[in-house]
Amino acid sequence: MKNTIDLNLYRFLDLLYEQQSQAKVCHILDISRATFNRHLSDCRDLFANELFIATKGVYAPTLFTTQLILVVKEPLEKLEQAQQISQSFIGNDSNIEYVFHAANPLSTLFTVPLLQGLTNEEAKPKISMMDWSLDGVEFPKAGTLAIGVSGYPNELNDRIVERKVGSLELFAYVADTHPLAKNEAIDLNQLESFDTVRVSMGSLDANSYYERLKKRTGLVLQQKLTVASVSSALQCVQVSQYVYVGFDMDLASIPSGLSKRPVLFNGEAVTFDVGIQYHRACYQHPIVKRIEQILSESLESY
């Protein structure tokens, strides 16, 4: 016997066993009689057996064929259903552990949307929100799906896929006593004259956003202070003349004594692009697409 597998031949073999008619098989598979004869010849060569005895147009299976179909039929049906079955790969397997490596400000934004989007009454997978780590995304632990969430774009190796999921407008947070507090909006040109406190975006992008901003605008923001969280940044703004540039926050979340102002450049809102990163082995997996959708919709509604 040959050691090759041609699924078209197995499909042909199974169908001929069911129909036992050349005309019906040709009609269902939309093939010519010449192709039918070639497939039958290939099947006979493959299994070194006559397989069917043709009598007055009826193809009666041999005993070997009857036994063979018992082995072939079930896996063939599963393969034929693969496209439909693949649509169920949307995270209902509670054995999957989701590990999101996100910079602190983005972790705050996405934790609840991801929790709501990936869990339901039937599926309650384990979800972890971790600090950003390239190693964590590139070398995930067995049984986990590791996703990075950070600024976009970044310089990554070819093992990592990165995709943009949306953008966020930037706002400046200043003390009410700060000279910029009286402005309805703050232009980047004005920020160049003041020191800013930034929240670390993790080991991946460091201050790459500021470098991209410099290339785009020619402006250099003085980053004299870097802290680990948004709350720490706002506390520093409360007691100093530092400016914190970050994402939008509702008024109830802003500490007293601080003002929020939109950041503009040449009259247009300044935005921060957000992307996700994951191992290329997960490329186009349905659950990764679902996560992209959750993050994208969250950014659109933010």
One domain, residues 156 and 293: yes
| Residue 149 shares a structural domain with residue 19 | no
Encoded amino acid at 40, one letter:
L
Residues 225 and 158 both lie in one domain: no
**Residue 155 and residue 177 in one domain:** no
- 151 and 181 together in one domain: no
Residues 183 and 256 in one domain: yes
Both 78 and 194 in a single domain?
no
Q: How many distinct structural domains can be found in the chain?
A: 3
Between 84 and 180, name the one with better pLDDT: 180
Residue 258 pLDDT level (bands cut at 50, 70, 90): very high
Are 282 and 262 part of one and the same domain? no
Query: Is residue 92, in this structure, part of any structural domain at all?
Result: no
Average pLDDT over residues 7-22: 93
In this structure, of 11-25, 75-89, 141-155, 286-300, the range with the lowest mean pLDDT score is 75-89
d(CA 288, CA 147): 9
What DSSP string runs through the chain?
------HHHHHHHHHHHHH-BHHHHHHHHT--HHHHHHHHHHHHHHHTS--EEEETTEEEEPHHHHHHHHHHHHHHHHHHTHHHHHTTTTT--TT-EEEEEE-HHHHHHHHHHHHHHH--SS---EEEEE---HHHHHSPPTTEEEEEEEES-----TTEEEEEEEEEE-EEEEETTSGGGG-SSEEHHHHTTSEEEEE---TTTTTHHHHHHHHHH----EEEEEESSHHHHHHHHHTSS-EEEE----GGGSPTTEEEEEEEETTEE-EEEEEEEEEGGGTT-HHHHHHHHHHHHHHHH-
- Answer yes or no: do 11 and 57 share one domain: yes
Predicted confidence at residue 89, as pLDDT, reads 58
- 174 pLDDT exceeds 80? yes
Report the mean per-residue pLDDT for the chain. 86
- For residue 112, name the pLDDT band (cuts at 50, 70, 90): very high
Q: Is the residue at 1 inside a domain?
A: no
Answer whether residue 245 shows pLDDT above 70: yes
In whole angstroms, what is the distance from residue 287 CA to residue 249 CA?
29
Residue 92, pLDDT > 70, answer no
pLDDT digits (tens, 9 = 90+) for 182-202: 999 999 889 888 989 988 766
Residues 180 and 259 in one domain: yes
**Same domain membership, residue 121 and residue 62:** no
With a CB cutoff of 8 Å and minimum separation 6, the contacts of 296 are 165, 166
Structural domain boundaries enclosing 16: 7-86
CATH number where 43 lies: 1.10.10.10
Is the domain of 281 the same as that of 264?
no
